[in-house]
Chains A and B, each alone.
Chain A
Amino acid sequence: MSSSLGNIIKKEVKELLTPSTLIPIIIFAVIFGSLGNVFGGATEGLSEPPKIAIINDGTGGISQFVEMDMTARSEVLYNGTDLDQAIQVVSDQGGTAVFVITSEFDQNITENKSGVIQIYWILEGSGLLDGLTTEAAAGMLSQVSYDLSKAIIDSHYTDNSTVILEPINATQTTIYKGTEMPGVTPGMILAVMSSQSFIVPLIVVMVVIYAGSMVVTSMGNEKENKTLETLLTLPVRRTYIVFGKLAGAAIVGLLLAAIYMVGLGYYMSSLISGATLDLSQYGISLDLLDYILIGISLFLALLSALALCMILGIFTKNYKAAQTMTLPVTMLALIPMFVLMFSDFSTLPLVAQVLVFAIPFSQPIIAINSLMFGEFAIVLVGIAYQTAFAVGAMFVAVYLFKKDILLTGRVKSVEGKGKRSSRRFSLNLGWRKKKV
């Protein structure tokens, strides 16, 4: 009989893994991957020197100093005296701005006034990414301004200009959940942790949505195509039918989620930058056992989602109705995703903790943060809870598979249908009329 289970799994995979389910996911993955490429290229541009033009109308050494500093910190496309030509060159070669050091620049500085630099920004678009290169050029000018301040202070007031420019030297240590991290700011830790607290919930949501919808779709198809009754009268245990459907949906759902995550992962990695702090040097890291526990937690979250969706699928009437059936389970997956994205589980109010913990999809998200700090108890309790939840939900699914409701749906509709058809028969066929 175990070959029956394999037979059902094979049928489910074949039925669910069609071009119409694969192609949209592949297209999404390619689109996200391409967007990642675009954003990645744009953000990489930030670390490159800005492309500019310099017109130095100044007459002294100070403007000369500024020009040289700018040249060192930029890619200079034009250096001359013609403003129109400078704008043209920068525009043609994808540059950012033309910097004009005015003729009074040296004199103003000498007379303790601000020197004036006119900037002509070349803006080709209004998107967020179009502004990144202008920020790079503005940053370059700030650095030049700092260098000039340093030079002026050094030459007029003191040899140690750093004391005046940076009178406070903050040496920072962050104590995160009891772990002391010298030289680390909270922002650096949050950057690393937020990248994880985004990706893991996203994986959970994707798996739940795709695998869950596969189960419900499978049930919707069986009912719409009127194949369920045949399947149920074959010599195969109902438990095998349920497990076969769950396994088939899990295989296809995981495959689709993996394809989706490849594209999405590439997209996300292009956006999450700067999270370069290596927390393992402070003992905050995951080892093999941690990964195994997270894997178990993810698997149990998947099982719970599949069993819940199977229960919902039992009540679905057709393929169309099945499409909306996954919504409640999707919402359950989104709640911990959003809550734990913005707040650590340990800092939530008690009521919120209980509610989040009760959702079996929260456990992998809680696990990853807890295991980094060696907090095993909450993870093991979570896994025990998930196991109980998944087994309970599967038990309910198998139980319902043996009940009339699988085929008849709600009692009211059956009653109505029966009465109507009976009446229609007596009115339309008119057997009695013949005799009369």
Chain B
Amino acid sequence: MAAIEVTNLTKKYGPLEALKGITFSVEEGEVFGLIGPNGAGKTTALRVLSTLLEVTSGKVTIYGYDLVKQPEKVREIISYLPEDAGSYKNMKGIEYLRFIAAFFHADRKDQMLERGVKIANLGERLEDRIDTYSKGMQRRLLVARALMIQPKLAILDELTSGLDVINAQTIRRTVKESAKQGTTVLLSSHNMLEVELMCDRIALIDDGRIVASGTPQGLKAQYHAANIEDVFVEVVR
């Protein structure tokens, strides 16, 4: 069974058509990247798949659950990390992780928290209020929040946006490890290097349409390009 099946998905904001009938699928345990410029529809697609936005038309199933008919079932198996996600600034880091864990089954709470502490790797700073954290620390906490529950599907929007090289690399490694442990990852990025490093397969999206998809190596070979950035330019030309 595919982890994600998206068939002819459209999304309209009033007169604006942000997604113009996209179709793709993601296999279990795969790291799949949606790449494209700002405003191409990446975030809209991720928000729809996260049950945040309504489907205008088309069909989406996640691990067999119909996104429109069973959004609550979908929310039990996914974890969504928005690009500019924040956290409750009055809470301490550990309180935030505990708050999130409390929404899941009680018997898994301690295990989740332990895993969250490990992923965040913030040491004693977890006992400090979140508003004292640097941007990198906050992002690590949020990644820990997203992955500690061991979701079947992690939806990660611009995973390392705005982070320095060290923090970005640490977070990428954490996500890859989660994928190895069985979490399917759907991520978006306009950082082509990141996509090449992390994704098993990618889909290039432009103006609400998927214009190409495949493995990074396959796409580079198909378009005789040195890197994914060149592939994208070639495709949308």
Contact residues of A with B, CB < 8 Å? 3-4, 7, 11, 14-15, 18, 225-227, 229-230, 232-237, 403-404, 407-408, 411-412, 414-415, 417-422, 424-426, 429, 431-432, 434-435
Q: Which residues of B are found within 8 Å of A403, using beta-carbon distances?
A: 54
Pair A7/B16 contact, Cβ less than 8 Å: no
Contacts known (A407-B52, A411-B14); A235 close to B229, Cβ less than 8 A: no
Within 8 A of A (CB), among B198-223: 207
B189 within 8 A of A: no
Residues of the A chain whose Cβ atoms lie less than 8 Å from the Cβ of B84: 226
Q: Is the CB of A408 within 8 A of B13?
A: yes
Given A3-B102, A230-B80, CB of A414 within 8 Å of CB of B233: no
- What does DSSP make chain A's interface, helix, strand, loop or mixed? helix
Q: Which of B78, B79, B237 contacts A432 (CB 8 A)?
A: B237
B6 part of interface (Cβ distance < 8 Å): no
Alpha-carbon distance A226/B142, docked complex (angstroms): 12
A434–B233 CB distance below 8 A: yes
CB of B18 within 8 A of chain A?
yes
Q: B63 on the interface (CB 8 Å rule)?
A: no
Residues of B within 8 A of A232 (CB): 51-52
A17 CB, min distance to chain B CBs, angstroms: 10
Question: Which of B87-95, B158-166, B172-180 is the contact stretch?
Answer: B87-95
**In this assembly, does B232 line the interface, its C-beta being within 8 Å of a C-beta of chain A?**
yes
- A425 to B89 CA separation, bound complex (whole angstroms): 32
Residues A234 and B100 in contact in the complex (CB < 8 Å), given A14-B90, A425-B39 = yes
B53 at the binding interface (Cβ < 8 Å): yes
Beyond the given pairs A225-B89, A226-B86, A230-B145, 6 more chain A to chain B contacts, judged by CB atoms under 8 angstroms and listed by A's residue number, are A225-B87, A230-B87, A233-B52, A411-B13, A415-B16, A435-B237
B85: A residues at CB distance < 8 A: 226-227, 229-230
Docked complex Cα distance between A232 and B90 (Å): 20
Residues on B with C-beta less than 8 A from A227 are: 85-88
B39 to chain A: which residues have CB within 8 Å?
A: 417-422, 425
* B72 close to A (CB within 8 Å): yes
The answer on a CB contact under 8 Å between B16 and A418 is yes
With a cutoff of 8 Å between Cβ atoms, the chain B residues found around residue A234 in the complex are 75, 100, 103
Give the contacting residue for A425; candidates B38, B72, B78, B87; CB below 8 A.
Answer: B38
Contact of A7 among B14, B82, B99, B145 (CB under 8 A): B99
The 27 sampled A-B contact pairs (Cβ below 8 Å) are A7-B102, A14-B90, A225-B88, A226-B82, A226-B84, A229-B52, A229-B82, A230-B85, A233-B50, A233-B52, A233-B78, A234-B75, A235-B75, A235-B103, A236-B103, A412-B14, A414-B13, A414-B14, A414-B16, A418-B16, A422-B40, A422-B207, A425-B37, A426-B37, A431-B233, A435-B230, A435-B233
Contact in complex: B38, A421 (CB < 8 Å): yes
Given A415-B15, A432-B237, A229:B99 Cβ within 8 A: no
The B contact surface, by secondary structure, is loop
**Contact assessment for B72 and A237 in the assembled complex, using a CB-CB cutoff below 8 Å:** yes
Q: What is the CB-to-nearest-CB distance from B79 to chain A, in angstroms, rounded to a whole number?
A: 7
**Nearest 6 pairs between A and B by C-beta?**
A411-B14, A422-B39, A226-B86, A425-B37, A225-B86, A421-B39
B76 within 8 A of A: yes
Residue of A nearest to B44 (CB): A418
Residues of B within 8 A of A432 (CB): 233, 237
CB distance from B230 to the nearest CB of A (A): 7
**Known contacts A230-B82, A422-B38; A407 and B53 CB within 8 A of each other:** yes
Q: How near does chain A come to B198, taking the closest CB pair, in angstroms?
A: 20
- A435 and B237 CA atoms in complex are apart in Å by 10
Which of B16, B37, B72, B103 makes the CB contact (< 8 A) with A429? B37
Q: Is B47 an interface residue, CB under 8 A from the partner?
A: yes
B106 within 8 A of A: yes
Cα A67 to Cα B89 in complex, Å, equals: 74
What is the distance, in angstroms, from A35's C-beta to the closest C-beta of chain B?
33
Does B24 sit at the interface, judged by CB under 8 A?
Answer: no
A67 to B107, CA, bound (A): 91
- With contacts A411-B16, A432-B233, A432-B237 taken as known, whether A422 is within 8 angstroms of B37 at the C-beta atoms is yes
Q: In whole Å, how far is B40's beta carbon from the nearest beta carbon of chain A?
A: 7
State the CA gap A11–B54 with chains docked (Å).
Answer: 27
Q: A249: shortest Cβ distance to chain B, in Å?
A: 15
Query: Least Cβ distance of B144 to chain A in Å?
Result: 13
CA distance in complex: A229, B47 (Å): 9
Q: Which residues of B contact A424 (CB under 8 A)?
A: 38
Q: How far is the CB of A252 from chain B (nearest CB, A)?
A: 13
Chain A residue nearest to B101 (CB atoms) is A7
Docked pose: A260 CA to B18 CA in angstroms: 49
Taking a contact as CB atoms closer than 8 A, the residue among A235, A422, A425, A434 that contacts B104 in the complex is A235
Closest approach, in angstroms, between the C-beta of B14 and any C-beta of chain A? 3
- Write out the residue numbers on chain A whose beta carbons fall within 8 Å of the beta carbon of B51: 232-233
Q: Which residues of A contact B81 (CB under 8 A)?
A: 230
Question: What are the interface flags for B1-38 relative to A under an 8 Å C-beta threshold, 1 for contact and 0 otherwise?
Answer: 00000000000011110100000000000000000011
The minimal Cβ–Cβ distance linking B11 to chain A, given in whole angstroms, is: 9
Give per-residue flags for B51-76: 1 if the beta carbon is below 8 A from chain A beta carbons, else 0: 11110000000000000000010011
